[in-house]
Amino acid sequence: MQIDARVEAWASLQLVPGASPRALVALLKVFGGPQQVLGASRASLARVVREEVAAAIERGPDPAGLNQTLEWLREPGHRLIAWDDHAYPQALLSVADPPPVLYFRGREELLNSPAMAIVGSRNATPQGIETAEAFAAALSAAGLTIVSGLALGIDAAAHRGGLEGASSSIAVVGTGIDRVYPAANRSLAERVAQAGGVVSEFPVGMPPLPGNFPRRNRVISGLSRGVLVVEATLASGSLITARFAAEQGRDVFAIPGSIHSPFSKGSHRLIKDGAKLVETAQDILEELGMQGASAAKSVPLAASAQGNAERVLAALGHDPAGVDAISERSGLPVDAVCVALVELELEGRVANLPGGVYQRLR
């Protein structure tokens, strides 16, 4: 990215210690832009924000931190996207406390594409992971970019599924964009950055501090038309994302599970509180007015994906069978089977029965 006075001013302002997004928003509304804020007198600033914040702005950012940020921005494909940038996601502008600055790698057009967040437990069950990946693949194929938080478990599955479809995936991270947390998702983060996008509101070099993740969660929901919770305990951070979604006027969806599983408790709580119970990706598409199966069919499938669906249908036969059995019969990996089953379900050719088994309909 080319570094000009505007970009350097935005980076400098974002790096001022103690200047929260809310304080920056207030200053920008009064002074008009980052260069004007940085050039204002301490007394003028103090009429808008606390004295200590005004003093910090007068001192300016730490030179080492600013140099680190500018060095990162000089790398090809690295971007700073601020309020006054055409690429800034318009959906975020409608929420309370939007981040004035985002750091980004990837396909900028996805930031303003229709999106669906999929979140859930880090310690997800195998069935939960399969479900998240399959829902994400179907929704991505139907025109929704899949947004999640790059955590282990459901988040990672959602990103993998999103990458299978034409609408890809965006990862919102709770660290500086130059870091990957957890490290186990490093290769996945790179795939998302290359084919989708990775975004952070935190300064370059920021470690994974606990307080970062609730802030990250409001961006996940803010970018999206709705939030789908796949598996969650009652203490899951996914419930925080769902709460932000409800406050932001987004739809909240939840997949039910066994009454005996702790990973279903959070989803069941959301459903009791008014979240929409969903059993198929088509339930979400219809709720969003995307015409369900027809929306999914409007995205051309690769020849291999079409062939997989036919192989899965043949392997299923006419008796109910689970994903593992279908995978063994067809010779396809489980993730490919899950994607094919969702496509077949959207087409009305198979049904998902209780117990995680599928029945051929025609």
231 and 122 in a common domain = yes
Does the residue 85 lie in any domain? no
Asked if residue 300 has pLDDT above 70, the reply is no
pLDDT, tens only, 29-43: 899 899 999 999 999
Task: For residue 70, give its domain range.
Answer: 1-76
Q: Where are the beta strands (DSSP E) in the chain?
A: 78-82, 101-106, 115-119, 145-148, 169-172, 197-200, 226-229, 251-254, 276-277, 321-322, 350-353, 357-360
pLDDT, tens only, 171-216: 999 999 999 999 999 999 999 999 999 999 999 999 999 999 999 9
263 and 149 in a common domain = yes
Does the residue 188 lie in any domain? yes
Does the residue 64 lie in any domain? yes
pLDDT band at 22 (very low <50, low <70, confident <90, very high): confident
pLDDT, tens only, 110-150: 999 999 999 999 999 988 999 999 999 999 999 999 999 99
- Which of 119, 113, 103 has the alpha carbon at shortest distance from 199? 103
221 and 336 in a common domain = no
* pLDDT greater at residue 21 or residue 265: 265
116 and 232 in a common domain = yes
142 and 284 in a common domain = yes
Strand order in the sheet with 357-360: 321-322, 357-360, 350-353
258 and 159 in a common domain = yes
pLDDT at position 293? 41
Does the residue 92 lie in any domain? no
Q: What is the mean pLDDT of residues 79-100?
A: 91
309 and 278 in a common domain = no
| Residue 121 neighbours by CB under 8 Å, 6+ apart | 128, 153, 154, 230, 231, 232, 233, 236, 238, 263, 266
pLDDT at position 296? 42
Alpha carbon 267 to its chain centroid, in Å, reads 18
Q: Which amino acid is at 182?
A: P
Does the residue 96 lie in any domain? no
Angle at which helix 303-316 crosses helix 323-330, to 10 degrees, equals: 110
Does the residue 323 lie in any domain? yes
164 and 286 in a common domain = yes
Instruction: Indicate the residue among 267, 290, 313 that finishes a domain.
Output: 290
Say if strands 78-82 and 101-106 run parallel, antiparallel, or are unpaired: antiparallel
255 and 146 in a common domain = yes
256 and 330 in a common domain = no
Structure tokens at 343: 């496509």
Domain count, the chain: 3
128 and 250 in a common domain = yes
Asked if residue 307 has pLDDT above 80, the reply is no
CATH number, domain with residue 68:
1.10.150
CATH number, domain with residue 169:
3.40.50.450
Asked if residue 338 has pLDDT above 70, the reply is yes
pLDDT at position 291? 63
117 and 16 in a common domain = no
pLDDT at position 177? 97
Asked if residue 298 has pLDDT above 80, the reply is no
CB 309 within 8 A of CB 166: no
Asked if residue 69 has pLDDT above 50, the reply is yes
Q: What is the mean pLDDT of residues 235-251?
A: 95
